[in-house]
Each structure stands twice: as C-alpha cells, then as structure tokens.
Chain A
Amino acid sequence: MIDVLYFAWVRERIGMPKERIETSATTVAELVEELRGREERYDAAFADLSALRVAVDQQLTDFDAALDGAREVAFFPPMTGG
C-alpha cells in the first residue's frame, strides 16, 4: 500500500487530496501509467508530465525514480513559494 497525495490544481483535477492505493508499480512512471488508466480525470491530470513535479517520501525526485519501499508519493505543479 502506498499513500498518493495531490496538491494545488492536481488535487482539484483529481478531486481529492490523498488516497491509499495497492500497486505493483516499481517506478513513479509506472504508477502514473496505472493511475492514468483508471479514469479520465487521472488521465487529464497526468497528460503533461512536464507540468508536474513528484516527491517520493517527501523528497523531490523525477518520474524515473524507484518506488522501492516508498510510503508516500506526491504529485503537484511547479512550486510557487516565497
């Protein structure tokens, strides 16, 4: 089981901030493909990965990153702090 978190417009497009899913994905990219296959709203949210950032266990990483033992994956747009 892995917690998947969504922030900002990704959260709005998918319609929830967080879900716990059972997955056999071994990389972020595989998880994204799995999510895209679920429903149109996921497919729309992940249509352009260049507009998204990903964190695994609260560390920024990239879509090739392994999910080996990860507890939490978060998807969000580029950050706008400061």
Chain B
Amino acid sequence: MTVRVQSETFDFAAEVAGFGTEPGVGAVVTFTGVVRDLPEGGLQAMEIEHYPGMTESAIAAIEAEAVSRWHLLDCLVVHRHGRLAPGEPIMMVATAAPHRGDAFAAAEFLMDYLKSRAPFWKKEITAEGAGWVAAKDEDEAALGRW
C-alpha cells in the first residue's frame, strides 16, 4: 500500500510498470485524473491546495478501508498539489487483486473517497480571475453507495 503526495508530475507508465507484480495478482485496475479545461475553454491553471500531514494520513486510512473491504494484494495512490496546467495528470490510483471485481470496486471506492474525504481544494485560474471549485452534492452522495 503506497501513498504519495507531490507537486511534481508522475510518469503513469513508470508507476504501472512495477505495480501488481506479486504472485497471485490476476487483475490490475488503474485510473488517472487529468486537469480538464472548462467547457468554454480558457483554463490557465488549476491550483491544488492540501493539508500536509493530514493528506497522507487521510489517504492511508482510505486505502486501509479499501483493503479491509476487498481482497487486494496492493494499491497505490499518487496525488499532486500546486499549480497544474490543463492536460496534466492530477492523480492516479491503482489496485491489484486476484480478481477484477475486487480491483474495479476498490479503485472506484478509492476515487469516491479521495474526492470528498482527502483534504485537497481546487482553484481554477482563468484570464478573468480565480475561483474555488465547489464540492458537488453528487460526490458526497456517491459515498452512500459504499
């Protein structure tokens, strides 16, 4: 189980290359989140603030919960902070399990909880100014399915 919180970008291929290689793994699921431009375009940057210390422990607790619910052999969460440009990767999760059902479910669980329970805040920067991204009701509601 690995958690990394970092400002620098990450190399998805390199992260995945060494992941899920232990005996017994039959399924590896990965998800990568990317800075999306606004529907109307014009996003200059996404600034991601976090709570050093709590961020790592909150993600580790979410990972521990995933491990207690599904049969996982490994999981990885990488999440960036700082100023990111559109198209840059923000974060990734990877899960490794004997069977794909556990790997998919745990990856979705990790994503749902990272959205609403890991202390990150996003700010969108455009030529007109900057604004904090509001949490969505549906993201909070998504936790209810677990």
Contact = CB atoms under 8 A, between A and B. Distances in A.
B46 to A, nearest CB: 10
Q: Secondary structure of the B side of the interface?
A: mixed
Interface residues of B, number: 26
Interface in A48-82: 55, 58-60, 74, 76-82
Which of B79, B111, B134 lies at the interface centre, i.e. has the most chain A CB atoms within 10 A of its CB? B134
Nearest to A60: B117
Contacts of B57: 58
Contacts of B119: 7, 55, 74, 76, 79, 81
Which of B58, B121, B134, B135 lies at the interface centre, i.e. has the most chain A CB atoms within 10 A of its CB? B121
Given A82-B33, A82-B111, A7 B121 contact: yes
Interface residues of A, number: 17
Contacts, number: 69
Nearest to A5: B51
B140 A78 contact: yes
A8 interface: yes
Given A82-B111, A82-B114, A74 B121 contact: no
A82 B80 CA distance: 9
B51 A81 contact: no
B47 to A, nearest CB: 10
B118 interface: yes
Interface of A: 5, 7-9, 11, 55, 58-60, 74, 76-82
Given A5-B51, A78-B140, 10 more contacts: A7-B121, A55-B54, A55-B119, A58-B53, A58-B58, A74-B119, A76-B121, A79-B121, A81-B116, A81-B117
